[in-house]
Amino acid sequence: MDSELRELYQQVILDHNKSPRNYRVIEHPSHFCDGHNPLCGDTINIYLTIAEGIVKDISFQGSGCAISKASASLMSSIVKGKTIEEVKSIFEKFKDMVTGKLDVDLDSMGKLAVLAGVKEFPSRVKCASLAWHTLINAIDKKQEAVTTE
Amino acid sequence: METSIKLNNEVFDIEKIRSDFPILHQLVHKKPLCYLDNAASTQKPKVVIDSISDFYSTTNSNIHRGVHFLSEKATQNYENTRTTVKDFLNAKSEKEIIFTSGTTSSINLIANTYGRKNVNKGDEIIVTNMEHHSNIVPWQILCEEKNANLRVLPINNNGELILEKFNELITERTKLISVVHVSNSLGTINPIKKIIEIAHKNNIPVLVDAAQSIQHLEVDVQKLDCDFLAFSGHKIYGPTGVGVLYGKENLLEEMPPFMGGGDMISKVTFEETTFNDLPFKFEAGTGNIAGVIGLAAAIDYVKSIGLENINKHEAKLLNSATEKLSEIKGLKIIGTAKEKTSVLSFVVGNIHPHDIGTFLDFEGIAIRTGHHCTQPVMDYYKIPATSRASFAFYNTFDEVDHLTSALKKTIEVLS
C-alpha cells in the first residue's frame, strides 16, 4: 500500500471503523445532536451525559466512511471524563491538526494523532471533523442539526 | 494492452483513439491513470483543445454585429456550430438550437419561461424518481412560486421506470413532463419515445434531459418528437461551460425571454423593447464563444468515431465489468436495468464508497463516490451513496481488469 494511504488508513483507524467504541444509544441523554455531511451522506447522532461540567458518558450512532466513524469512536473514548473546557480545547487542537493549519505537537494529541494523515486529503477533512462539530453543538445545546456544508 | 477490437468487421483502434486524448497518458499516484469517471465529465480529444486554443490565438473577438474581419469570422464559426448541433440532433432549423452554459441552465431556462408562463396554481409537473437534482430543483422552485405540484413517476428495483403508473399520474392539470433519457447514477436508458407518445396523446409537452445520453446514443429530436431537449458540452468530449437547449420552434416563439440584455433584443428604448428573433431571443449577453466552437469540434470528433461504434465498445466494457464485479463477494450492483449505458454503480457490504474511492485513487483509478446528485435514487435503495465506474469508448478491457483487481485488494483491507 502507498505510504500516504497507509498513513491515512492506519491500523488503529481500520480497527475503530470495524469495532467502534461507545457505539450505542444513551436512553436519557442530557445533551444530544445530529450531524450530517451532505457531500457524502454521512450522518451521526451524538448522545451525552454531562454533569457538573464533566462528560460523564458519551455515545454515538450513524453511518459514514472509515475516517468519520473512526474519528467519532476515538473522540468518544478521549472526551469521556473530561471537563467541557478541556473538550473544547482538544477540539481546537484537533481542527488545527486535520486542516494542517498549525504545527500541532502530535505527542500532545494522544490517540487522536492517528488522524493527522487527514491533512493530506482535503476532501476528507470534513469526514474527520463531523463528529467533533456535532459534539460541540450538543454541548452548546444548539438545537439545529450540524451540517458540514 | 489490446490494440484493436473488431466491431462489425470494422477495426476499432483503441490505441489510436487513446492517442487522441492527451490527458490519458499520465501517472496518478505513480500508476497509469485509469479514468472511469466519464459520467461526471469526459476527457477532451486534442482536436477540441486545439480548436479552443486556435480560436483565442487567431479569431478571438465578440460575435454578431461586428463589422471587422475577426468578428465576422468568429460569428461565422459560432453560427456554424449551431448548424453542426442542428444536424447532430436532426432538428428542423438552427432557430431551435439555443446555446446555454449546460444542461442545468437549459432546464432552468424552460422552468423560468415556458414554466412560468404555462404553470399556474394547482397545475402539475411530472418528473421521475431517477432525476438528477438539476431536473428536480428548478421544478420545485417553480411549483413553490406558482402553488403547483410536482409529481413523481416511481422506479422498480432494477432501476427502471414503472411506466404503468404513468397514466395514473397524468391529469388534466399536468402541464409538463420532464424526464431524464439516461440515469447518471444507474445507467438506465428510459423508453423516452414511448413516454413522449403517451404524453402527446394527452397534449402534454416533454422536456428530455439528454446529459447522459447524447454521448452514447443517437438522439434524433424529430424521431423522438420531444418538445425540449437539454445537454452539456463537457459530457460529450467538449468543453465545460457550454450546453444546448433544443426546443420546437413554435414553442420557443411563444415563450417569453429568460434573461434580458444585449443580443436578445431588436430595438430598445426606455419605453419599450422589441425582442430579437430565435434563437437569439434566449442568448442574452456574450456567450461562451470558444466553448461553442469547441463543442463543434467535439461533435465532429464523435461523428468521426461513430456513435454506433462507441456504443458497441462501451456495451462490451459494461458487460465485462458487470460480469467481473458481480463475482466479487459482498458486492451489489445498483441499477440492473435491461437497457443500460456504460455506468456501473455498486455498494460493497458496510464499506463506505468514499473509502473505496480513496483506495482506488491510489491505484490510479478515478471513479465517483457519493449520491451523484440523485438523492431520491439513494433514498429508494436505502443507501447513503454508491461507488460508480462509468466507461467511455477510450477505456480498455485492461482497465476493467485493473478496476476488478484493485477493488478486490481494497475490500480485503477494509473489511
Same domain for B219 and B325?
A: no
Task: Tell me the per-residue pLDDT of A37-80, one tens digit each, with 9 for 90 and over.
Answer: 877 778 999 999 999 999 999 999 998 999 999 999 999 999 99
Query: What is the Cα–Cα distance from A101 to A124, expressed in whole angstroms?
Result: 15
Same domain for B92 and B225?
A: yes
Domains of chain A plus CATH, in order, are 3-144 (3.90.1010.10)
Same domain for B280 and B341?
A: no
Cβ contact, residue pair B384, A4, below 8 Å: no
B370: domain CATH number is 3.90.1150.10
Whether the pLDDT of residue B86 is over 50: the answer is: yes
In the three-class reduction of DSSP (H, G, I as helix; E, B as strand; rest coil), residue A10 is classed as coil
Cβ contact, residue pair B358, A127, below 8 Å: no
Same domain for B221 and B355?
A: no
Whether the pLDDT of residue B334 is over 60: the answer is: yes
Chain mean pLDDT for chain A: 90
Residue-level pLDDT at B33: 98
Residue-level pLDDT at B2: 46
What is the rounded radius of gyration, in angstroms, for the C-alpha atoms of chain B?
22
Residue-level pLDDT at B16: 95
Helix (H) or strand (E) holding B34: strand B34-35
Read off the pLDDT of each residue in B66-74 and give the average, rounded to a whole number: 94
Note whether B226 and B181 are within 8 A (CB): no
Burial environment of residue A83 by CB neighbours within 10 A (0 to 12, 13 to 18, 19 or more): middle
B199: domain CATH number is 3.40.640.10
More confident residue, A147 or A68: A68
Read off the pLDDT of each residue in A115-143 and give the average, rounded to a whole number: 90
Whether the pLDDT of residue B290 is over 60: the answer is: yes
Query: What is the Cα–Cα distance from A148 to B1, expressed in whole angstroms?
Result: 43
Beta bridge partners of B389: B344
Same domain for B148 and B88?
A: yes
Chain mean pLDDT for chain B: 95
Q: Per the structure, how many domains does chain B have?
A: 2
Contacts of B351 in chain A (CB under 8 A): 66
Please identify which residue in the block is written with the cell numbers 436512553.
A27
Which of A3, A17, A40 to mutate against chain B (most B CBs within 10 Å)? A40
Give the domain extent around B192: 49-303
Cβ contact, residue pair A43, B359, below 8 Å: no
Same domain for B101 and B145?
A: yes
Residue-level pLDDT at A118: 92
Burial environment of residue A36 by CB neighbours within 10 A (0 to 12, 13 to 18, 19 or more): middle
Q: Which of B253, B274, B303 is the last residue of a domain?
A: B303
Read off the pLDDT of each residue in B173-192 and give the average, rounded to a whole number: 98
Catalytic residue list contains B373: yes
Residue B319 contacts by C-beta under 8 Å, 6 or more apart in sequence?
Answer: none
In chain B, pLDDT over 70 holds for what percent of residues? 97
Whether the pLDDT of residue B4 is over 90: the answer is: no
Whether the pLDDT of residue A148 is over 70: the answer is: no
Same domain for B11 and B104?
A: no
Residue-level pLDDT at B1: 44
The DSSP symbol for B276 reads: P
Cβ contact, residue pair B352, A40, below 8 Å: yes
Same domain for B83 and B23?
A: no
Task: Tell me the per-residue pLDDT of B389-403, one tens digit each, with 9 for 90 and over.
Answer: 999 999 999 999 999
Same domain for B378 and B349?
A: yes
Q: How long is chain A? A: 149
A116 Cα to chain B: minimum distance (Å): 16
Read off the pLDDT of each residue in A112-122 and give the average, rounded to a whole number: 91
Considering CB atoms only, which of B355, B378, B414 is closest to A41? B378
Same domain for B210 and B64?
A: yes
Q: Which of B259, B275, B303 is the last residue of a domain?
A: B303
Same domain for B299 and B409?
A: no
B-side interface with A, Cβ within 8 Å? Answer: 29-30, 351-355, 358-359, 362, 369-371, 375, 378, 384-385, 413-414
Query: What is the Cα–Cα distance from B272 to A67, expressed in whole angstroms?
Result: 60
Same domain for B311 and B298?
A: no
Whether the pLDDT of residue B162 is over 70: the answer is: yes
B370 Cα to chain A: minimum distance (Å): 5
Residue-level pLDDT at A4: 84
Task: Tell me the per-residue pLDDT of B223-282, one tens digit each, with 9 for 90 and over.
Answer: 999 999 999 999 999 999 999 999 999 999 999 999 999 889 888 999 988 999 999 999
